[in-house]
Structure 1
Amino acid sequence: MANTNSTTTACTESVCLPSVNETAITALLKTPLGAHLDLFQILDACQHHVDALIENDDNTECMALCGRLLAALEVLKVALKTPLPAHLIERLTVDVAEPDNYRAPLSTDSETLREYCSALTILLLQHQQSPEQKEHITGLLFELVNVLVEDLKAPRFVSTDGGLVMISGEAVPGIH
């Protein structure tokens, strides 16, 4: 806590902006992860970490980014099992459904895709691959995380007179 003569400022939000001397990666690594985040915030965190990872050549920073990405993917594992809050259901709902326009090209479910991302991240953390293999694994991880994010943020529901239904036409007994 800062006193009146201090130049330290208090951070009123849950996530502080980086200081002038702090790099973007350091700020990203300090961003809290946890159950207080909703699904979209966790997906954004995963995407920010993998974006930084794909652009980084520093081994220490890459290892730290992989560790944080793995942590975000573990938080995502829990989030995928919890019911969606109303504000996300609203964001995932459309008025008119176009079934073929929303789903990712992979037929894999979200949890399996999340596990693939975790496995690739763990592989990078082991640091046993050649520089060329590391580049390919990082690229594949980048692509898979982005597919996962796009898929989970794609509309799922359509609003009808009878309530919400899945875009595929199925009734929605309990939204998850």
Structure 2
Amino acid sequence: MATPPLFSHSLFTLPFSHATDFTELADNCERFVEGLVECHDPVEKLAICARLSACLALLQPTLTEPVPQHLQASLTVETLPTRSPLFEPEPDQMGRYCQLLTHLLMSKTLSDEMERVAGDLLQDLVGYFADTLKAPRWLKTEDGVMVL
């Protein structure tokens, strides 16, 4: 079976620009990451990374702007959701994330700006990792010890 041409893939034709709403940019970022994880072709991976980077670059300045009027209704609810976004990787995965960032910083391939960002991320992740590992796991009660 022939491989489809590189730019016929929907990720490469997904339109976005500086006028795209932040919610749509966030959706696009998720699509790009999903495509990146599923992709095995190095050229396509690089192209998807470039699209993700461009989308993130457009998304970043919108984070400090007020929510546009036309999006306020879609972000307003009558009852709070039962689930909130959480970041709860397994400890072994968190350890791999920290190790990857450490190796990336040691490689000295990042610009000074990106090195600072990676260092900040590593600091936050290692702090979270350490807090998670040192968190209580059992609770003493009148009935004995309970697993948390």
Q: TM-score, normalized by length of structure 2?
A: 0.49
Higher relative contact order (CA 8 A, sep 6+): 1
Larger radius of gyration: 2
Higher helix share: 2
Q: TM-score, normalized by length of structure 1?
A: 0.42
